[in-house]
Amino acid sequence: MKWGIVLSTSFPKKIRIFDTTLRDGEQTPGVSLTPEKKLRIAESLDKIGVDALEAGFAAASEGEVKAIKLITNAGLRAEVYSMARGVIGDIDSVLKTGAVGVHLVIPSSDLHLEYKLKKSREDVLKITADTTQYAKDHGLAVELSAEDATRSDLEFLTKMLKAGVSAGADRLCPCDTVGVLIPERTRELFSELKKRFKKVPLSVHCHDDFGLAVANSIIALKSGADQAHVTMNGLGERAGNASLEELAVALKANYKVNLAIKTELLYETSRLVSRITDFPLQPNKAIVGENAFVHESGMHTHGILAHPLTYEPFPPELIGRTRRIASGKHSGSHGIRASLKEMGLYPNDEQLNVIFLRVKSLGDKGKRVSDADLQAIAEAVMELPATRPIKLEEITVVTGDRVTSTASVRLNLNGKMLTEAATGVGPVDAAINAIKKAVGIVEPMKLENYSVKAITGGTNAVTEVAVSLSKGDRKATAIGVNEDIVIASVEAMLSGMNVLMTNYNKQKLKEKT
Ligand code: MN
């Protein structure tokens, strides 16, 4: 069966991806990265196949110069750029980093000229020519961006870009700095600019203030641009930039464009960037959100089990994910039977009906039903002894502003005592690391997702931690509830690990032999 639709073939032969996660993305309020963290993200973006990386804004700080230097020295395949304003000193900072190119950003709208830059149009033309010339004289490739281009006078924008081209600019980018473009206007703008700049390649740089960043980027790529500026997870100022994962998958799955991005690495890269930037994703985020391949409603799970394409736009494997069937208020008996089968539990029809009703009634009370809950319900209904291979014997966490958080745990794994200690960026991280270390020796498992919410307000609030774990192809969700966030996290981890370690299929076999 075929999936997706072919709409057009009018894309350029080669679409270039210019990733700005480490510059525009880092400008996300609350995000600030150390050079080492930037390097880790750069390496993962390089692996995924982006053509160019904007690694930072060299003139911003010494740390920024150090970060860009680290990245240029890492031997990546992607071209490394640094941003600079139309200031000679900014370009000197770029020269310290070893970057091959400068992303030179100069405002073109009267609004920016009058209120921010306090310069005339003539000044801007001269600045554009001088700084472009200076960068070229020093051997840098120049990606010249007109800031706020989409609210600029087209004739002046053309003049300014021409001044850049005469001074040697390699590429032009009319930035949609505040995300006001709509697809129709994008087509007009890029078609017109392509007419005026036949020989100079164009980039598109969109922001998502109206949720149109990816749509506008696609239209631009069909109307004269051959490179898109994007960020992983759509990070960026305000509502963010056009998202790498959304653009790449839309182009590949819906437009059948042969894009040189390894989409099967998108999910793990998204998780890595989310972890390192400490910027969680909304569950319903397109492509990489936690719920993008989770099915709960009875009608949908029934369809999915018969044929996954009934309720999925493309196979999750395309982006390196797997699908999951969740239990809850909207569950159907087919979905619950399938989830239990994964655990090796085969209730008869009567038992299944009781389990089904209990899951529904929990859901009706507004509770999330995790896989660990489903297993416990099934065990009770099927009168199976509740086996929990891992039990917590003891946990101690030391934390403070002058010490690295350290946790030590003692676990009972099927009667065997396991003791481990680990450090972490905070008490929760340390505790989880210690548990992973202790159990990992016997059964390697991966923590895919961790989310926390306070159920009541105040510092004595009850905390609910939800985790999603995987072991090979199997996945399990679990919830921990406690006044103490560390204990809630530990409970959720152990409860999820217990689901993955309980294998009724194996036990049955053992009983038979
Ligand atoms: Mn921007």
pLDDT of residue 286: 97
pLDDT of residue 455: 77
pLDDT of residue 3: 52
236 C-alpha to ligand 1 centroid (Å): 7
pLDDT of residue 400: 86
User: Where does the pLDDT of residue 472 fall: very low under 50, low under 70, confident under 90, or very high at 90 and above?
Assistant: confident
Stretch 47-62: mean pLDDT: 97
In a domain, 94, yes or no: yes
pLDDT of residue 378: 94
In a domain, 4, yes or no: no
The CATH code of the domain that includes 446 is: 3.30.160.270
Q: CA-CA distance, 103 to 35, in Å (whole number)?
A: 19
pLDDT at 363 over 80: yes
302 C-alpha to ligand 1 centroid (Å): 43
pLDDT at 505 over 90: no
In a domain, 349, yes or no: yes
Closest by Cα among 149, 153, 220 to 188: 220
Closest by Cα among 190, 196, 165, 194 to 175: 190
Do 324 and 365 lie in one domain? The reply is yes
Helix axes 427-440, 485-501, angle to 10 degrees: 20
Which of 229, 251, 277 is where one domain is finished?
A: 277
Stretch 280-286: mean pLDDT: 93
256 C-alpha to ligand 1 centroid (Å): 27
311 C-alpha to ligand 1 centroid (Å): 35
Mean pLDDT of the chain: 92
260 C-alpha to ligand 1 centroid (Å): 23
Over residues 72-90, the pLDDT tens digits come to 999 999 999 999 999 999 9
Do 161 and 38 lie in one domain? The reply is yes
144 C-alpha to ligand 1 centroid (Å): 13
In a domain, 107, yes or no: yes
Contact 437, 453 (CB under 8 A): no
205 C-alpha to ligand 1 centroid (Å): 7
Contact 336, 355 (CB under 8 A): yes
- Ranking 43-57, 133-147, 230-244, 298-312 by mean pLDDT, the lowest is 298-312
What total of structural domains would you count in the chain?
A: 3
In a domain, 513, yes or no: no
Do 350 and 443 lie in one domain? The reply is no
Of residues 386 and 383, more confidence is placed in 383
pLDDT at 70 over 80: yes
112 C-alpha to ligand 1 centroid (Å): 14
Q: Pull the structure tokens for residue 305.
A: 């089990």
104 C-alpha to ligand 1 centroid (Å): 12
65 C-alpha to ligand 1 centroid (Å): 20
Do 90 and 209 lie in one domain? The reply is yes
Residues with Cβ within 8 Å of 424's Cβ and at least 6 positions away in sequence, in order, are 404, 405, 406, 407, 430, 431, 432, 433
pLDDT of residue 6: 46
Do 403 and 359 lie in one domain? The reply is no
Amino acid at 453: K
In a domain, 362, yes or no: yes
In a domain, 286, yes or no: no
pLDDT at 369 over 70: yes
What DSSP line would sit under 246-287, residue for residue? HHHHIIIIIT-------GGGHHHHHHHHHHHHT-PPPTT-TT
Which of 325, 357, 381 is where one domain is finished?
A: 381
pLDDT of residue 288: 96
99: exposed, middle or buried (Cβ count in 10 Å: 0-12, 13-18, 19+): buried
Over residues 211-221, the pLDDT tens digits come to 999 999 999 99
pLDDT of residue 425: 87
Do 246 and 301 lie in one domain? The reply is no
241 C-alpha to ligand 1 centroid (Å): 7
| Helix locations, 310-426, DSSP H | 333-343, 349-364, 371-381
Residue with tokens 């003139």: 59
Closest by Cα among 306, 269, 208 to 45: 269
Task: Please state, for a pLDDT cut of 90, what percent of the chain lies above it.
Answer: 81
Do 397 and 310 lie in one domain? The reply is no
249 C-alpha to ligand 1 centroid (Å): 22
Q: Pull the structure tokens for residue 289.
A: 């959100």
158 C-alpha to ligand 1 centroid (Å): 20
Do 146 and 212 lie in one domain? The reply is yes
Q: Which domain holds residue 130?
A: 16-277
Terminal alpha carbon distance of the chain = 43
Q: CA-CA distance, 352 to 376, in Å (whole number)?
A: 13
207 C-alpha to ligand 1 centroid (Å): 7
pLDDT of residue 507: 60
In a domain, 80, yes or no: yes
Q: Is 22 left (phi over 0), alpha (psi -120 to 50) or beta?
A: alpha
User: Where does the pLDDT of residue 385 fall: very low under 50, low under 70, confident under 90, or very high at 90 and above?
Assistant: confident
Which of 381, 414, 440 is where one domain is finished?
A: 381
Amino acid at 267: Y
User: Where does the pLDDT of residue 246 fall: very low under 50, low under 70, confident under 90, or very high at 90 and above?
Assistant: very high
Stretch 379-397: mean pLDDT: 91
